[in-house]
Structure 1
Amino acid sequence: MAPIHKVAVIQWHIKNLDPEYNHSKAIQFITSAASNGATLAVLPEYHLCGWAPESPEFYTQALRNQPYLKSYCQLAKALHINIVPGTIIEAERKDTSTDQHTLYNTAYFISSSGEILGKYRKKNIWHPERPHLTSSGADPHEVIQTGVGKVGMLICWDLAFPEAFRELISKGAEIIIIPTYWGKHDANEEALKLNPNSEQLFIDSTLTSRCFENTCAIIFANAAGPADFYLGSSRVVLPFIGAVGGKTMGAEEEGVMVVELDLSVLALAEENYKVRQDMASEGWYYSYRHTVDKRPAETA
């Protein structure tokens, strides 16, 4: 019988350019999750710095974020809890001869022993992010073997690309973790006139379809704040069930939601839909791989 894990999604109103405040909130909520029996805690995207790329401080903070990662490793070991600390903006020097750096949006998986088991850098950069952040490009999506199962990580706008899920599922991923910073006004004014709740509809429908079509679990952690801008909507999603326990966090809700993730549901989904079986079969109709030149995979 597949294990049942208590997992926590965490959201709060992230303060722009205030990593000390945000880090202290994260510690508070992770500690609460552990005290409630959670074996995994997931934070939102941009959880340390928020989104303020026009400020020079956004860049300089990216040069100073590594100590926070070390702190989460120590916390994971002390509390014996796995942590995905949302995303951390990292600066890497472009050229050793200059002081210019490239910024990456990176998610880490930290084990309950405090070890970094893997990381993922956002591939599908949202259009307003592109002047500031660099994509991981043609780097393959990788699956991480963890104490809670085989995990793949995506970030925010990656949700819109079924290819990302397919690559992770083809490598055996059971749980897809998605830190995000998704707001009500990510759609423009003209789109919102058609449906003021269009971004909520996007999240609800896409999370549901992705877990069904890939026979996987999804852990989705978003930021919270005033409902005229933020969506919240953090949840854990399974095939057949949708949001586990019928629980979805509200737009303005700050705190921790702990639910039981029953991985036996994934075997039942595969028994019904046989998605993984078909994908692994010889002569499968659709092939997918990362290619720099974007040509389709060759066939025999």
Structure 2
Amino acid sequence: MNIEKALTLGYSEESQYAETIHPGPLADNSCQVKSPSKTAISIRRYRLYTISNTEPIKEFKLKLAVIQPRASREFPEFTLTSLEGAVADSKLHDVDVVILPELILPGYNFPKRHHSMAQSLNGEWMRNLSKIAQKYQCAIVLGWAERFEGTVYNSVTALGSRGEILAHYRKRQLFGAMEQKSFAPGRSPSPVFEIAGYKFGLLICYEIELPEYARDLALRGAEVVIVPTANPVGYEHVQDILVPARAYENRQFVAYVNYCGAQNGLAFSGTSLVAGPDGKALAQAGHEATALYVKLPEFSDYPKRILSTQLDDLRKLTDQSDVPHRE
């Protein structure tokens, strides 16, 4: 298929899977996008992509919206209003799942907020998000600070298009002093759940960097791994190397959803992406606030010769060796 390159400062890979978004009357690449919501903040500022096809694209079963917001100091009430606008805009592009970064409620780099604002799974945040998902008939996945029986967790929740909770997961592999001070580690692996015929799993930020977590999900049948993250500047090797490697070695799609900009002194590296099972990006953002609308192809669309066979080939490891060695 002959695809023209995306005309954007943020992403220039060829891809038939990224949604075509035409600027129309909007002349500036980072101009405000009109939406049904009354309030718009940095999460609403999208970089516009133009990708042209010379052949019709086949039907796809699932479309993701990867929302890379500019990190904000706003309080959760304002963020929820903006989040609804992002969902409304995404639904205009026939999206099935909207994905937002780690701890978007109440904000990643605000440790005092984590304890003072954390809510329960049946609290106001989740009730409002459930209404938004039901209103727009769209699944939502996002990271937030959860309080359960007096303990605070770094959590991610997947809400279905009827507002129901499809999956809930607490981050097990906390990263750095701030997270380790703010949160208790989760104890349970991510559930594997289904949306539009695809099997999903959840990880949070640092966990995708450790091969065991994605491999566990693959062995349990997960085809799409959603990873809300808050990856800072200086750790771009995660997007450049590790996320594509996880997708390739496990034959999975990996949606890695980051912030851009800075928050309370911490600068984020942006470049959110959806990597396919061939280890290549279906779409990737740059360093500005961006909405990526990404159609997932069928696994059968990929030639078998380019997909990893590691899951099938890996031999069971034992303590025995056939190599002579000293006791």
TM range (shorter): 0.7 to 0.9
Q: Any residues of structure 2 matched to 1:163-174 within 5 Å, and which? A: 163-174=212-223
Listed as ranges, the gaps of 5+ residues in structure 2 are 1-57, 320-327
1:72, 1:277 → 2: CA distance?
40
Shift of 1:12: 1.1
RMSD: 2.6
Which of 268, 278, 290 lines up with 1:240 in the alignment? 278
* Residue 102 of structure 1, CA deviation: 1.2
1:210 counterpart = 2:246:
yes
Offset of 1:15 from its aligned partner? 2.4
Matched position secondary structure for 2:128: helix
Decide whether aligned partners of structure 1 residues 83 and 270 sit closer, same or farther in structure 2, where only a CA change above 3 A counts: farther
Give the letter aligned to residue 277 of structure 2.
Answer: P
More helix by percentage: 1
What CA deviation, in whole Å up to 9, does each residue of 1:62-91 have, x standing for no partner? 03782121212111122111110x211011
Matching residue of 1:150: 199
Alpha-carbon deviation of 1:221? 0.7
Change (3 A) 1:40 1:270: farther
- The aligned counterpart of 1:89 is 145
Does residue 231 of the first structure (1) align with residue 287 of the second (2)? no
Greater Rg, structure 1 or structure 2? 2
> Do structure 1's residue 130 and structure 2's residue 201 form an aligned pair?
no
TM-score, structure 2 as length reference: 0.72
With 102-111 and 218-227 compared, the bigger mean Cα shift is at 218-227
Q: Name which of structure 1's ranges 257-266 and 40-49 shifts more when overlaid on structure 2.
A: 257-266
Aligned residue number for residue 25 of structure 1: 82
Distance 1:269 1:73 in 2: 39
Q: Judging changes above 3 Å, is the alpha-carbon distance between structure 1 residues 200 and 266 closer, same or farther for their aligned structure 2 residues?
A: farther
* 2:93 maps to 1:36: yes
2:299 is the counterpart of 1:249: no
**2:257–2:272 contact (8 Å) kept in structure 1:** yes
State the match for 1:109 in structure 2.
158
Q: Deviations over 1:140-159 (max 9, x none)?
A: 33211222510010000101
* SS of aligned partner of 1:131: helix
Contact kept in structure 1, 2:101 and 2:230, CA below 8 Å: yes
1:113-139 CA deviation, whole Å, 9 max, x = no partner?
A: 2211111110100022101111113x2
1:4 to 61, 66, 76: 61
Per the TM alignment, residue 264 of structure 1 is displaced from its structure 2 partner at its CA by: 2.1
- Map of 2:115 onto structure 1: 59
- Letter paired with 2:132: L
Deviation at 1:286, TM superposition (A): 4.2
Q: Distance in 2 between matches of 1:285 and 1:268?
A: 27
Deviation per residue, 1:248-292 (Å, 9 max, x gap): 2122x224210111132587458843334346xxxx4149xxxxx
How many residues matched? 258
* Per-residue deviation, residues 165-187 of structure 1 (Å, max 9, x unmatched): 11110110000000001111xxx
- State whether residues 9 and 257 of structure 1, in contact with CA within 8 Å, keep that contact through their aligned partners in structure 2: yes
Distance 1:269 1:105, change over 3 A: farther
Matched letter for residue 296 of structure 2: L
Which AA in structure 1 matches 2:101? P
What SS does structure 1 have at the residue aligned with 2:286? coil
Query: 1:2 and 1:255 mapped to 2: Cα distance?
Result: 24
Q: Quote the Cα distance in structure 1 between the aligned partners of 2:111 and 2:299.
A: 46
Rounded to whole Å, the distance in 2 between the matches of 1:108 and 1:63 is 13
Q: 1:199 aligns with which of 218, 221, 235?
A: 235
- Give a deviation string over 1:211-239, Cα, whole Å, max 9, x none: 11000000111112159922111111103
Any unmatched runs of 5+ in structure 1? 94-100, 185-197, 288-295
**TM-score, normalised to structure 1's length?**
0.78
* Contact preservation (8 Å) 1:29, 1:255: no
Please state whether the residue corresponding to 1:229 is helix, strand or coil. strand
Indicate the SS of the match to 2:199: strand
Point out the more displaced range, 107-116 or 259-268: 259-268
